[in-house]
A and B are shown apart, each in its own frame.
Chain A
């Protein structure tokens, strides 16, 4: 009982601190399979429109699994699946635009999934790395590289029922023509920027 009284302030203090961004915290995380916490993950892409703006859209439905050992990050494996029909552009007047973009341009009418499977993981610093993998979009597979930044980790995340949690940001670029996405080349840029935020918890 007295132990509980002693522990309570410590637990509360730990909650208030949030994730630890230090390399030591990253290294102390448990090894194994991690699952994406979907409500706390986002997948955004941007493409230049008319040479005027960075047109920004987002996929609302995707999932990822991470096999990760902090002692050996180069052995990590990342797989992701994205529902192309879940693309969200917030078009103000055309309610059918997302379905057209997802179904026709991004291949959702024929291919129910966009997939990514890592083939190579490198560390570039104590809390940064690079993941190369095969992206399959519209049934076409081509390599894509993502730059990864570790944001923080928690041994016991109250939000996730005490499971260990880790958070990453990832950025990458692809040339859309590599996936046969050649439409609207006169006013939509060739380069697509990918921005990912992801929280994972230990299974």
Chain B
């Protein structure tokens, strides 16, 4: 009897972390911005992919591991938080504030008139054990169009530092900037890649 109990106890001890790995609690999560990146890349003059990221954003996740198709995401991005590192790479004597030009320029994100970029998911489908597609409405420059992101569920675990459960994802997609009213052509090609890496912490 004692050996059965001991065996059960041992099983339970080993099973608990395994269960924690496979199942995250359902409910509300919020992005952990310390461990999240929201970036885009556009092919510049056909030569190389030009990356920029937004450093200020909020992403809310409603997650149901039992049925991920019920999951929902809403996000807001501050276009003024665009970062290109141009200030560190520009030639001596060049004082252009390229971040500001991209953020507020009428040819670009025109943040004075459109202060937020938003995303709200409308559908999630599962494509594999840890992969899926998330479709949603992306709004910038006042235009709302659907986008679909390829999402990979990287994992989940309890974060001992915050003593809360976390889940982590990667999301990749491509949008055509002209659909949101940006001029076709120009130095950056029309098709722009979106790349998001994000951890979410249980609320």
Contact = CB atoms under 8 A, between A and B. Distances in A.
Contacts of A50: 35, 155, 157, 159, 166, 168, 199
A48 B159 CA distance: 15
A40 interface: yes
Given A154-B47, A199-B48, A52 B199 contact: yes
A159 B48 CA distance: 14
A165 B47 contact: yes
A78 interface: no
A42 interface: yes
Interface stretch (A12-20, A103-111, A124-132): A12-20
A61 to B, nearest CB: 5
Nearest to B195: A56
Contact of B46 (A20, A88, A91, A94): A20
Interface string B35-49: 111010101111111
Interface string B75-86: 000000001011
Given A50-B168, A53-B197, A92-B34, A168 B46 contact: no
Nearest to A59: B85
Interface in B1-59: 33-37, 39, 41, 43-51, 53, 55-56
B34 A41 contact: no
B139 interface: no
B70 interface: no
Given A20-B46, A42-B51, A167-B47, A49 B89 contact: no
Given A60-B85, A86-B88, A55 B197 contact: yes
Contact of A18 (B46, B49, B86, B168): B46
Contact of A159 (B85, B167, B187): B187
A145 interface: no
A21 B88 contact: no
Contacts, number: 130
Contacts of B47: 18-19, 40, 151-154, 165-167, 199
Residue from A38, A41, A58, A90 having most chain B Cβ neighbours under 10 A: A90
A92 B33 contact: yes
A51 B37 contact: no
B39 A197 contact: no
B124 interface: no
Contacts of A94: 34
A60 B89 CA distance: 7
A39 interface: yes
A88 B50 CA distance: 16
Contact of A52 (B45, B51, B53, B156): B156
A79 to B, nearest CB: 18
A17 B46 CA distance: 9
A198 to B, nearest CB: 6
B74 interface: no
Contacts of B89: 38-39, 41, 60-61
B107 to A, nearest CB: 16
13 contacts: A19-B46, A38-B90, A40-B50, A44-B51, A51-B157, A53-B154, A53-B199, A55-B197, A88-B83, A90-B37, A92-B34, A167-B44, A169-B49
Interface of B: 33-37, 39, 41, 43-51, 53, 55-56, 83, 85-86, 88-91, 98, 154-157, 159, 166-170, 185, 187, 189, 197-199
